[in-house]
Structure 1
Amino acid sequence: MARATAERNRVGCTVYALRKSPIGSLNAHELARMIGQHLGVPWLLPLALEILRDTAQEQPGGGLYDDDLLTAVLTRRADTWRSAPDLAAELQDILLIIDETSSYMQSSIRKFFETINDTGR
């Protein structure tokens, strides 16, 4: 119990520090943390999608594409995609580039498509 509390405090402090960083200075791991905490999503999603597009295109043949940033982006709430259909469409395009993912990632991808289909896309 104390270990879990200490970990939450550490993550909270890290995210708090990241909130003070300029958006352009955040790397993929930091973006994943912020988006995963649903902080700054309207501003961070476009940057995250740019990174995902670049890394998806560089995916080595035969390798699994398991990425914390992709997971953070895929698991946003339906209202995120409803309010930004252009970003949802961009993520769909990125997902078409990715050849192979883990079963966990495939589940998140399916849920994303279900979410955007339910939002009228």
Structure 2
Amino acid sequence: MPVSDRLRAELRRALDDGGAGAAAARVALGDGPLPQRLEAGIRALAERRGPGSSTCPSDAARAVGGERWRDLLDCARDIARRLAQRGEVQITQRGVVLDPHGAWRGPVRIRTTRSDR
């Protein structure tokens, strides 16, 4: 199963379960504007996985964009930064929480700051 299909299936499970990330999963799987769907995808995946795990900007880009995911990666990273600046997620690199206002490069992970699963 392609990675994008696996990630969309994870979003569908979040929606079907009705738990953490369900509302965001509905938006991510919809047909709204791509930036809105990317933000929802990041939130849904991070919330579903919980504070003890993480997701990658590319996961949301793959889930929303399918084969075009690479075109969405910069936008997904920018959205993750904005979510971190609002305190909704943390951006980490090698397990260290990054300053969302600072400069960072390379692979990053995103985890929810919500503890209610």
Pair member with larger Rg: 1
- Give TM-score scaled by structure 1 length: 0.31
Greater percentage in helix? 1
Greater percentage in strand? 2
